[in-house]
Structure 1
């Protein structure tokens, strides 16, 4: 919220002097919600490339949003372009961390553009306002950063297109997004956001089909609860009532505080905030609630089904690959440390000339790679532990393997 509130304040102040569209204000708030986490994953030197990708992604996402607001063949074209816009960044992860970071930033505006309470104007002026909203959100998101973040370890993914997990996940997301648009067009052509947004939320930050099932189920349940509660609560704040806007930020603040406790809390907060926002613009009622719930359930089912039926990424394969990466990083650190240890005579001579550095550069780099490998393996543990608690024997074995690998190799980190 340290970024969201200043971004909202800035856009509202601009509205007192300029004819800033409401959709640009909402767009800035949605970007401000997502940008801090995206920026935190950047490695040193990646910020310029990431910001360039964010600007390009904004222009592309706004163009898709303009097409989607039409009811003719342009909507189909917009759905296809939107699908490419969210799937290509996932596929680009296979080319290394710089492409991963740029792809993450380019994809953020596509989720944000889905949330627009008023029709998007198909004009160059409107595109300029949306780019300004991106600049405002980015300025506030980068201001509190004391230093550069660190991305995940890894480089280009080897192997053919069928063996690359990023390629398979891109195909899954693309198919699920297209299906989400089709279902939304069938359920409620006037409100495409709920099935498609749910698909994107279910697939967000996942690494294998087990992740999609476990986290996706939590997110769908949270989204259902948040939508029901907020839609019912909008009765006390009618259209245009400023209390509805206060409720949006209050819900987002609570969801942000509870985000690390479970995926359901963030999904509930996000969908509740959207329901309050739409209620402020007069979109409420029992019929609309039923459409929202149907869209969320359909989007969740589509997202999980795509991950399990289309080129699935097995959880066991992901765990074994990351354990192997952890072992390789640990072996590299051990070898680097042994090579960098000087002899007693050299140490004595060096002590008379200069103080010995505690870690040389190769050892420090190897230690950083081991730390990144451990962090990436730890991200898989909640899903595997959940499977073990549900009684899956293979999940128990994978959980034991993760614990053993982290205990043996991460002792080197001290």
Structure 2
């Protein structure tokens, strides 16, 4: 009972546990299929490892995806995977050219985010095969097989991930795959800066990876990938200076702990011990489940997996452990330094933009002309949920900042904004269910008026966050008569909390 209570507290609704189950089914199916093909074609086991890594990362990247994104995966991932086969060969020969190409492709995959959500997804899919070659054990663990074989294994991973996501979605086990139009890009507020955030992040990643390649090649030629991989992870998806230092510290501490524990376990089991494979998959499942709870869990588990994998191939020992820890620290430092010194992006600025985007989606949800069209309302809810997910990505550093401020008796309100946006999710879903159950609500004049008032407050907050003049937020006053009306009041209460964070006190009081 205590264990069950702990699990439900850690993962309310068991949403992440269900997602982990689906991901591991795809991973294990990919592993089995890839192993059969590898034995039949007498290939190197490296391609199996790459297929498993691709399945693991794809299961997360495509979570909540629509049919267009699933189709993109089948096009982008095999094509890039085939290219990485050639790149992997260059790493052992003309490594300077390979290093430059690696940095250029990763930077380009980040820079194209400025063109919208579809371009962002293409960039995310592009980088997955590149990262997969960094986890292969040892500098000699490169694939000399034909690129078509590598593309085939990528297709196997895409196929199993897509199949499990679609089947689990239809069974109601996880979020169902949606059929959205191609142009479903999330709104983005225009930045006052002349340099887009995606360009800044691309430059930061380029600098961090370049420095990691140089240091790795010069000082740690046998295991240069550890520095590069750590620098990539710390800079990847950095959402401002606060986020990158938060992720960097968790990565360094978690990786150190995971490396020490896993290296000791690998040393006990020895080379080619099948039990290592069992433990690797178990730790992968744990990492997938706990990642959204804290990045520290992910860092511990993934680094443990890498250490166990290297141990399976016979690379163990105190000297190797010390080298690995040093390289992890160097990679983390490089990622943090690049993000802080090269065209830095403030986390609070990112929060303002993402909250404004979420409010725009909320305004579209509440606004005319088809608010009582069930299909359209469901699409608007899905888009709002997506924008809330982007806001929640900033929770880690801002919640840590709030906890530190509370200890020091200071003020740090930006984490409260994330809580307020989250509070809108449930009433939005209730409104969708009310519309489905009671079509007569479309003719209720009081509900229509209340919806218009809440929508006006959303617009007022969007203007305030963008520092534009306009009417102030005014709390709604109504006698709640229905569940739908109560949900609108709950949304307005959350808007009031956002006003306390982003709007000066004098502007929250109507004149």
Q: What is the Cα deviation at residue 150 of structure 1?
A: 8.7
Question: What is the aligned-residue RMSD (CA, Å)?
Answer: 2.7
Report the counterpart of residue 352 of structure 1 in structure 2: none
Structure 1 residue aligned with 2:257, among 184, 207, 225? 225
Residues 21 and 129, structure 1, Cα contact 8 Å, conserved in 2: no
- 3-state SS of 1:261 partner: coil
What is the alpha-carbon distance in structure 2 between the residues aligned to residue 300 and residue 59 of structure 1?
29
Q: 1:239 to 1:373 in 2, by over 3 A?
A: closer
Residues 90 and 170, structure 1, Cα contact 8 Å, conserved in 2: yes
Report the counterpart of residue 31 of structure 1 in structure 2: 54
1:168-317 equivalences in 2 (<5 Å): 168-317=200-349
What is the alpha-carbon distance in structure 2 between the residues aligned to residue 278 and residue 378 of structure 1?
34
- 3-state SS of 1:298 partner: helix
User: Are residues 1:69 and 2:92 paired?
Assistant: yes
Q: What is the Cα deviation at residue 298 of structure 1?
A: 0.3
Report the counterpart of residue 148 of structure 2 in structure 1: 128
Report the counterpart of residue 437 of structure 2 in structure 1: none
Report the counterpart of residue 123 of structure 2 in structure 1: 103
Q: What is the Cα deviation at residue 321 of structure 1?
A: 1.1
Q: What is the Cα deviation at residue 250 of structure 1?
A: 2.9
What is the alpha-carbon distance in structure 2 between the residues aligned to residue 409 and residue 43 of structure 1?
20
Q: What is the Cα deviation at residue 95 of structure 1?
A: 0.5
What is the CA deviation profile of residues 68-110 of structure 1, one whole-angstrom value per residue up to 9, with x for unaligned ones? 123xxx1111111111121211111111111111111111011
Structure 2 residue aligned with 1:372, among 386, 395, 406? 386
What is the alpha-carbon distance in structure 2 between the residues aligned to residue 88 and residue 217 of structure 1?
26
What is the CA deviation profile of residues 340-378 of structure 1, one whole-angstrom value per residue up to 9, with x for unaligned ones? 58xxxxxxxxxxxxxxxx425655544443333333223
Higher mean Cα deviation, 363-372 or 293-302? 363-372
Structure 1: gaps of 5 or more residues: 342-357
What is the alpha-carbon distance in structure 2 between the residues aligned to residue 260 and residue 408 of structure 1?
20
Higher mean Cα deviation, 97-106 or 126-135? 126-135
Report the counterpart of residue 42 of structure 2 in structure 1: 19
What is the alpha-carbon distance in structure 1 between the residues aligned to residue 246 and residue 366 of structure 2?
36
User: Are residues 1:113 and 2:133 paired?
Assistant: yes
What is the alpha-carbon distance in structure 2 between the residues aligned to residue 159 and residue 400 of structure 1?
23
Q: 1:23 to 1:240 in 2, by over 3 A?
A: same
Give the TM-score, by structure 2 length. Answer: 0.70
Report the counterpart of residue 479 of structure 2 in structure 1: none
- 3-state SS of 1:163 partner: coil
What is the alpha-carbon distance in structure 2 between the residues aligned to residue 269 and residue 176 of structure 1?
24
- 3-state SS of 1:143 partner: helix
- 3-state SS of 1:20 partner: coil
What is the CA deviation profile of residues 234-291 of structure 1, one whole-angstrom value per residue up to 9, with x for unaligned ones? 2222223323333322332333333333212222221211112112222111111111
Q: What is the Cα deviation at residue 160 of structure 1?
A: 8.9
Q: What is the Cα deviation at residue 34 of structure 1?
A: 0.6
1:160-175 equivalences in 2 (<5 Å): 162-175=194-207
User: Are residues 1:82 and 2:114 paired?
Assistant: no
How many corresponding residue pairs?
Answer: 392
Q: 1:394 to 1:21 in 2, by over 3 A?
A: farther
- 3-state SS of 2:112 partner: helix
- 3-state SS of 1:2 partner: helix
Q: What is the Cα deviation at residue 387 of structure 1?
A: 0.9
Report the counterpart of residue 416 of structure 2 in structure 1: 400
What is the alpha-carbon distance in structure 2 between the residues aligned to residue 283 and residue 190 of structure 1?
11
User: Are residues 1:91 and 2:111 paired?
Assistant: yes
Higher mean Cα deviation, 146-155 or 60-69? 146-155
Residues 118 and 185, structure 2, Cα contact 8 Å, conserved in 1: no
Residues 87 and 173, structure 1, Cα contact 8 Å, conserved in 2: yes
What is the alpha-carbon distance in structure 1 between the residues aligned to residue 128 and residue 179 of structure 2?
19
Residues 83 and 147, structure 2, Cα contact 8 Å, conserved in 1: no
Q: What is the Cα deviation at residue 174 of structure 1?
A: 1.4
What is the CA deviation profile of residues 102-125 of structure 1, one whole-angstrom value per residue up to 9, with x for unaligned ones? 1111110111011223525574x3
Which aligned runs of 4 or more in structure 1 are off by greater than 6 angstroms? 392-395
User: Are residues 1:10 and 2:51 paired?
Assistant: no
Q: 1:259 to 1:376 in 2, by over 3 A?
A: closer
Q: What is the Cα deviation at residue 2 of structure 1?
A: 1.4
User: Are residues 1:43 and 2:66 paired?
Assistant: yes
What is the alpha-carbon distance in structure 1 between the residues aligned to residue 233 and residue 208 of structure 2?
12
